[in-house]
Amino acid sequence: MDLDAWPRREHFDLFRAFDYPYFSLCADVDVTAFRDHVERDRLSFNLAVVYAIARAANAVPEFRYRIRDGDVVEHDIVHPSTTIMGADEVFGFCTLVYDEDFPEFARAAAEKIAQMQARPRVTEAGEGRDDLLFMTAIPWVSFTSFMHPLRLSPPDSIPRFAWGRYADSGGHVTLPLSVQGHHAVMDGLHAAKFYAQVQECFARPADVLGGARAPRG
């Protein structure tokens, strides 16, 4: 990116100098139609959420910006890297290839996830790559805030997402969804645009997910 022509250049310089330049938001999203569609079509709820988040994040340019050697690069596409629980309650990092077509994404992801469940590893998060979106599910807790661990040097500008246990409330099903980003490349406005995009995905699952079949889990 041409930083001199970037309207946020001053903000970039300000926030990248902070000791801790990250912000985090947590909001409930309505997954009523989404959950019903997933259960009816016998899809994996977790995998469908991973896809919806990746789809929404790719639609907001700021979620594809990364800080690299003092500059900012914009990826054409970014891919989900999510935690997967294996045996003995040990999780691994599983990097998936994002495909806008959910059936194609689900088929490739199911094989990769099965491999990770058989042998969980924490070296799978894409060492040396920054074209990723880090994700994790905490399905045992319906939380109201979340903070991810990260390295401060060099600056880690990969966005992070977490979602918890969904809850039935007044005829609606809501899911807590947390977003964490580097303030030098994105603001609250961009996080709000992401939430709008992902809520749209959750509201029209038939259009977004189609008729794919993926293992439950």
Question: CA-CA distance, 87 to 114, in Å (whole number)?
Answer: 12
pLDDT of residue 206: 95
Question: CA-CA distance, 150 to 156, in Å (whole number)?
Answer: 7
CB-based burial, 176-198: b 16+ in 10 Å, e otherwise: bbbbbbbbbbbbeebbebbbebb
Express each pLDDT in 183-195 by its tens digit: 999 999 999 999 9
- Taking the model in full, what pTM does it have? 0.93
Torsion angle, alpha carbons of 116, 117, 118, 124, to 10: 20
In three state form, how does the secondary structure of 100-132 look? CCHHHHHHHHHHHHHHHHHCCCCCCCCCCCCCE
Burial of 120 (0-12, 13-18, 19+ CB in 10 A): buried
pLDDT of residue 211: 54
Instruction: Find the helix or strand (DSSP H, E) in which 188 lies.
Output: helix 188-203
Closest listed residue to residue 103, CA positions, set 213, 207, 216, 215: 213
Closest listed residue to residue 62, CA positions, set 197, 209, 207, 194: 194
Asked, as a colleague might, if the bond just before 7 is cis with ω within 30 of 0, I would say no
Question: CA-CA distance, 11 to 148, in Å (whole number)?
Answer: 23
Residue 37 burial (CB count, 10 A): 18
* Catalytic-role residue among 37, 182, 183, 190: 183
Question: CA-CA distance, 90 to 88, in Å (whole number)?
Answer: 5
The phi and psi torsions of 44 (rounded to 5 degrees) equal: -80, 120
Please say if 11 is a catalytic residue: no
| C-alpha neighbours within 13 Å on the C-beta side of residue 114 | 9
Q: Which residues of the chain have pLDDT under 70?
A: 124-127, 211-217
CB–CB of 78/130 below 8 Å? no
